[in-house]
Structure 1
Amino acid sequence: MLQATLALVFLLIVLIFWVIRRTFSFWNGKGIPYLSLTDYVKLVYDNFTKPLHEVTVKNYRRHGRLYGSYEGFVPALVVGDPLLLRDIYVKDFKSFSDRIVSNATGNPLWDKMMLNAPEEEWTTGVVGVSQG
């Protein structure tokens, strides 16, 4: 019984290590700067202990205006260059249309924001906004 329990605990530790290593090595070899696991843990800590704008500026200075990060266990591309953002949201939108998997929050204002809109709603919304 003890051996089975130890084997199960060992297997669980190996599985957790594998998931963390697999997730936080996503940006390796992609050709852009990225946050390592330790950088990401520091970022999460800083988000709770420092003003958000200071954390953002610190990361932009360290990694540049385009770098890889994570939202939990999901890789995320952080873009701080307005011209590049325009290209992504307008010209190359088809390549980035499934950018965020967002759950409905119940807040009507948040749920209707263009940032959280699926591709069809976003395209309709951006046409209306850019015309007026």
Structure 2
Amino acid sequence: MLLFGVEIPLAWILTAPFLAWLVHYVFFGFDFFAKQGIPTAEPVLPLVGNIWKIWKRDNLKIEVDRLQKLGNIYGTFEGKNPVYVTADPEIIKAITVKEFDNFVDRLVVIPEHQEYVRRFLFVLHGQEWKDVRNGVSPVFSSGKIKGMSRLMEECCSSLVKLTEHRAAKNQGIIDLKKLFGSYTMDVIASCAFGTKIDALDDPNNTFIVKIQKVFHAPRMTTAFFFIRLFPWITKLGVQVFPAEEVLFFANLVKDIIATRRKENQKRGDVLDVMIEEMDKEAAALKLDPTRKPVMTEEVIVSQCVVFFLAGF
């Protein structure tokens, strides 16, 4: 094709608009906060923005340094998406309390096809999130938590005994991070799953091995990195949490639910509370079949798995 008397291949002409768009997408648009007079975290890399920092081990230190340098409000980019960061107590209070109805959804990209993970409370959006949260809320009432204190005290007694034993054995040198990590998992497993795993005494427990696989750092970091940059890849089956390990915890909870129903067991833990809510809802559905069920077995199993993942 002739253009201004110069022969230009047709392929060049067809490709040029795409290349122009690609260059603009990769390199431009990072002045979003500057136009509003808000400091921007540096460095902002082409295409990835500031999300590169998830590869850093000292992630928290990076955030503290930014707050000290930029102030209580600044902007970052996750890929091309602008993200406000604030440490202002009044703004945080407004978002989490006063104006919470306008900020219920989290920016979480999880594959919709992944069973159980898609029902994690922090993954749900809109009305579904509100419905499930209302169903889970009784778990956190003062009365229910007080009732679970007995389970926590049992784990605490094991912690005290083990601490005394290790202190005497190792000349007072104890790995506190590892010790309290195991204690936390024992408490979560007892209060949420209704099971005893003895993470304090048995670091090679199947629970521990499985949870470590779930949070295998390089794999999880890589998955989050690319999903935040390119959300559409979740349609290709990319998963953040390994399906085998999630299914392990899900099957465990289902077995516990089946056992409790069969033997009419009551332990006063998180699982008991949610089973009660599911039974109340089932009774209400008989009176009004048009109601949409919220506290299904999948939802309950998902929240129990979340409790354990959160405790790791």
Could you say if the C-alpha distance between residues 76 and 123 of structure 1 is closer, same or farther in structure 2, counting changes exceeding 3 Å?
A: farther
Name the structure 1 match of 2:92.
85
- Does residue 125 (structure 1) correspond to residue 129 (structure 2)? The answer is no
TM-score (ref. length: structure 2): 0.33
Structure 2 distance, partners of 1:55, 1:123, is 36
Structure 2 distance, partners of 1:77, 1:123, is 28
Name the structure 2 match of 1:62.
69
Instruction: Provide Cα deviations, 1:53-92, integer angstroms capped at 9, x if missing partner.
Output: 1221122122222212122222211123344222112212
Identity of aligned residues (%): 21
- Does residue 112 (structure 1) correspond to residue 116 (structure 2)? The answer is no
**What are structure 1's unaligned runs of at least 5 residues?**
none
TM-score (ref. length: structure 1): 0.66
**Matching residue's letter, 2:44:** Y
**Matching residue's letter, 1:29:** K
Name the structure 2 match of 1:100.
107
> 3-state SS of the aligned residue for 1:86?
helix
- Does residue 18 (structure 1) correspond to residue 59 (structure 2)? The answer is no
- 8 Å contact 1:65–1:81 — kept in the other structure? yes
- 8 Å contact 2:33–2:75 — kept in the other structure? yes
Name the structure 2 match of 1:53.
60
**Matching residue's letter, 1:15:** W
**Matching residue's letter, 1:16:** L
The Cα of 1:25 is off from its aligned counterpart by 2.8
Q: Answer with 1 or 2: which has the greater Rg.
A: 2
What is the aligned length? 128
The Cα of 1:119 is off from its aligned counterpart by 3.3
Structure 2 distance, partners of 1:122, 1:4, is 55
Q: 2:34 aligns with which of 20, 28, 35?
A: 28
Name the structure 2 match of 1:39.
43
Could you say if the C-alpha distance between residues 26 and 59 of structure 1 is closer, same or farther in structure 2, counting changes exceeding 3 Å?
A: same
Q: 1:6 aligns with which of 12, 20, 24?
A: 12
> 3-state SS of the aligned residue for 2:31?
coil
Structure 2 distance, partners of 1:64, 1:113, is 32
79-88 vs 53-62, which moves further? 79-88
Structure 1 distance, partners of 2:18, 2:24, is 10
The Cα of 1:4 is off from its aligned counterpart by 2.5
Structure 1 distance, partners of 2:52, 2:108, is 24
Could you say if the C-alpha distance between residues 78 and 10 of structure 1 is closer, same or farther in structure 2, counting changes exceeding 3 Å?
A: same
Which one has more relative contact order, counting CA pairs under 8 Å at least 6 apart? 2
The Cα of 1:52 is off from its aligned counterpart by 1.0
Q: Pairwise CA RMSD of aligned residues?
A: 3.5
Could you say if the C-alpha distance between residues 119 and 113 of structure 1 is closer, same or farther in structure 2, counting changes exceeding 3 Å?
A: same
- 8 Å contact 2:73–2:87 — kept in the other structure? yes
